[in-house]
Amino acid sequence: MNATLYTQRRLQPKPPDKGSFPLDHQGVCKEAMMKYMNCLNDKDMENGQCRDLSKDYLQCRMDHNLMTKEDWRYLGYGKEKKAGETNANTAAQT
């Protein structure tokens, strides 16, 4: 038999695009994570309703070197609409 039929090409592992995201072994951000997870549970996994808690959790991770410090716009927290603001209001201001 031909041995090449049974050989597979090994895949090279690729690091995450944003670098490592180490586990929080010390639990320094556990409280922020639990608040976010509880919010998701209470809001039927509608993460848009828990954005402020998500941001708090990411801030905690950045503050404790558990992730690279990033500008908020690169994490999906660019200009956020204020309560009652619509797209028409935003367009009129520019």
Return the pLDDT at 15. Answer: 61
Q: In which domain, by residue range, is 30 found?
A: 25-68
pLDDT tens by residue, the chain, 94 residues: 555 566 677 777 666 666 566 788 899 999 999 999 999 999 999 989 999 999 999 999 999 988 889 999 988 898 755 444 444 444 444 3
- Determine, yes or no, domain membership for 12: no
- Determine, yes or no, domain membership for 63: yes
Q: Inter-axis angle of helices 30-42 and 51-63, to 10 degrees?
A: 160
How far, CA to CA in Å, does 57 sit from each of 29, 32, 49, 54, 62? 7, 5, 14, 5, 9
Q: How many domains does the chain have?
A: 1
Closest to 36 measured CA to CA, from 46, 26, 27: 46
- Determine, yes or no, domain membership for 85: no
